[in-house]
Amino acid sequence: MGLVNRKAAHDDKKLSVFAKPFVALKNHVFAVLYFAESISLLGDAFTWVGLALLSYQFGKDRSAVILASALTLRVTAFIIFSPFAGVLADRISRKTILYTTHFIRMAIVACLPFVHQEWQIYALVFSLNVFNAFFTPTYRAVIPQVVEKEHYRQAIGLSTATFQILGVLGPGLAGILAVWFGAREIFFIDAGSFIFAAILILLLPTAKMQHKVIHKQKTFTAWQDVIKGIKLLFGNPIIRFALMIEFVSAIAGAQILVNSVGHVKNVLHLDDKHYGWVMAAFGIGASIAAFVAGNLDKTKTRRISLILGALILAITISITNFVSFPIMMVLWIFAGLGQSLAEMPSETLIGENIAENEQGKVYGSHFAFSHLWWAIAYPIAGYTGSNFAGKDFLYGGIISLALLALVMLFMKKHKLSVD
């Protein structure tokens, strides 16, 4: 019998770093939740491809403005509403929040095929992302409740990897469906994905998702709870350091999202296909890191992963202006690796360092601030891209490296705990 147990343990150790994240799917509740989230993410890909095509119908010269405005509204909704979503996740049924937001988003998406004015797009996109802001922090707060502690990092890694993979594959599938069914009709398929995901969530046991959640509290002090969530987020030195590294990652990552298309088409004189390839390379690198990060850095603070990820990302973009397209492809794989290594640890650190009855509000605050970083980073990337063409990535990399140095000095000055 002892021989059998030793063999089982040996076989578990032999699992590759790519296979280990799937161990979390042995947990039935997480598996259902994970597949519901994956379907929802696929629906998001349909939404943005459909919006791009719909924007084009309003006029080729207006499509970029409409999409840029829609992205701004998306981030704004996240920043404003996600802290309150986190508060709700600590106060009321998380299961109710999850399936209700799916049904409401289904209704909003189902309205998109009928829009005929630009303001209608903005109103619907903002409304859609208000409820996205309520769904995502709640989903993140549920994971540490339902997954065993030893598999928590793997569960987060699997969720993040799926997000990256669907970010690459989802738009392609949405594009194919749009050709078959039509640009407006794709929103009905999108709405159907939300219904399917909501039904999966309805099948989950409520009690498993509600550890130490406060029920029927007479006083509901939303602002005080939001402030408390922010204080807990920045009050923990380990999480604070991770959040500061996320700012570095956002500064560098925005350069990739904003300036890659201009570099490929205007500097390298290539076409849309090549742009698609480099962004796919970035997504592949991010997916690989998401799968393996939880097994490579098992330290308490994830300091190694955070610093290494930010450093790889900043150095990679710093040299991109001076390389050929094939080398850029390789660099973008490393950039994706760096971004996942720099951004993934925050979620697990919250789950491991914040009390269960406070996690919802902290996840909500984290979601708001992580998007605030991108709201700051996008204009910086736009400025370097429009004013320093040919050296935009270099300057973006220099800014990122300088910011990383400041973060490291801050860590040393305040003697943040290390492993």
What is the arithmetic mean of pLDDT over 165-178?
70
Least confident of 62-76, 182-196, 313-327: 62-76
Top-confidence range, 45-54, 175-184, 360-369: 360-369
> pLDDT tier at 127 (50, 70, 90 boundaries)?
very high
Q: pTM higher than 0.95, yes or no?
A: no
What is the arithmetic mean of pLDDT over 380-386?
86
What is the arithmetic mean of pLDDT over 387-404?
93
Kindly report, residue by residue over 193-204, the tens digit of the pLDDT: 999 999 999 988
Q: Is the pLDDT of residue 21 over 70?
A: no
Q: Is the pLDDT of residue 9 over 70?
A: no
| Residue 228 identity (one-letter amino acid) | K
What is the arithmetic mean of pLDDT over 106-124?
92
Domain with CATH 1.20.1250.20 in the chain: 20-207, 219-419
What is the arithmetic mean of pLDDT over 55-71?
72
What is the C-alpha separation between 418 and 299, in angstroms, rounded? 9
What is the arithmetic mean of pLDDT over 34-56?
83
Query: Regarding the domain with residue range 20-207, which homologous superfamily does it belong to in the CATH classification?
Result: MFS general substrate transporter like domains (1.20.1250.20)
Name the DSSP class of 184.
T
What is the arithmetic mean of pLDDT over 119-124?
92
List of long-range contacts for 25-28, beta carbons under 8 Å, 24+ apart: 25/158, 27/146, 27/147, 27/148, 27/151, 27/155
Kindly report, residue by residue over 213-225, the tens digit of the pLDDT: 555 454 456 677 7
pLDDT at 221: 64
Q: Coil, strand, or helix at residue 215?
A: coil
**More reliable by pLDDT, 381 or 167:** 381
Closest Cα to residue 84, out of 95, 73, 74, 97?
97
CA 42 to chain CA centroid, Å, is 13
Q: DSSP per residue over 366-388, as a string?
A: HHHHHHHHHHHHHHHHHHHHHHS
What is the arithmetic mean of pLDDT over 8-32?
65
> pLDDT tier at 109 (50, 70, 90 boundaries)?
very high
What is the C-alpha separation between 140 and 147, in angstroms, rounded? 11
% of the chain surpassing 70 pLDDT: 85
pLDDT at 84: 83
Kindly report, residue by residue over 237-295, the tens digit of the pLDDT: 889 999 999 999 999 988 988 888 788 888 899 877 888 788 888 888 887 887 776 56
410, 403 Cβ separation under 8 angstroms: no
172, 283 Cβ separation under 8 angstroms: no
Give me the chain's average pLDDT, please. 81
CATH number of 219-419: 1.20.1250.20
Contacts of 365 (CB under 8 A, 6+ apart): 82, 83, 86, 226, 229, 230, 232, 233
385, 229 Cβ separation under 8 angstroms: no
